[in-house]
Amino acid sequence: MMFRTLVLTLTTLNLFQTPAFTQQPDSVQVEQAVLTYIENFFENKFEEMNEVLHPQLSKRGVNPDRSINENLTPSKLKELLKNKQALPLTAQKNKVFNIKIFRDVATASLVTGYPRTRWVEFCHLVREQGKWKIINIFWEFMK
């Protein structure tokens, strides 16, 4: 009797394993896009990072001297990754929080950085063809 109940329960659960029920919520997809960006940025993996970047990406931030750095487009990021030292995933401490979503637009905050230098990045994303793409990143160093 118990075995039959278990089989019936598992069969019923299987009926609900359609894409509509197994699809991740938008907030999880947004968080994953931001983590894909930053983890691959640190590991110098441009192609993987570029999967979540919008072609019109704009990345800039506030330098310690309060000036705004130059705008980094995907092509400039590709060049940057060729010359910087990689930081393995095991040494990264990335935290995504404060995710807000309105229809096909989202924003998320990211605390990240190298072991001795930390900063906050504010990311804006747009959903295109069902995928979240980062279109804007603005950052500032933590003191």
Tens digit of each residue's pLDDT (9 = 90 or more) over 49-72: 999 999 999 999 999 999 999 999
- Residue 31 counted as domain residue: yes
The pTM (predicted TM-score) of the whole model is 0.82
Write out pLDDT tens, residues 88-128: 999 999 999 999 999 999 999 999 998 889 999 999 999 99
Instruction: Give a yes or no: residue 108 inside a domain.
Output: yes
Query: What is the CATH number for 103?
Result: 3.10.450.50
Please give the pLDDT value at position 6.
45
Reduced to 3 states, what is the DSSP secondary structure of residue 27? helix
On whether residue 10 sits in a domain, the answer given is no
pLDDT category at 24 given cuts 50, 70, 90 is confident
In a domain, 103, yes or no: yes
Of the candidates 78, 100, 129, which has an alpha carbon nearest to the alpha carbon of residue 34?
100
Count of structural domains within the chain = 1
Query: Which helix (H) or strand (E) is 76 found in, with range?
Result: helix 74-83
* Mean pLDDT score across all residues of the chain: 88
Question: Residue 3: is its pLDDT beyond 80?
Answer: no
Cα distance between residue 56 and residue 135, in whole Å: 6
* Spatial contact of 109 and 122, defined as CB atoms under 8 Å apart: yes
Range of the domain at 71: 27-141
Q: Which helix (H) or strand (E) holds 5?
A: helix 2-15
Question: Does residue 124 belong to any structural domain of this protein?
Answer: yes
- Domain assignment of residue 35, yes or no: yes
117 falls within a domain: yes
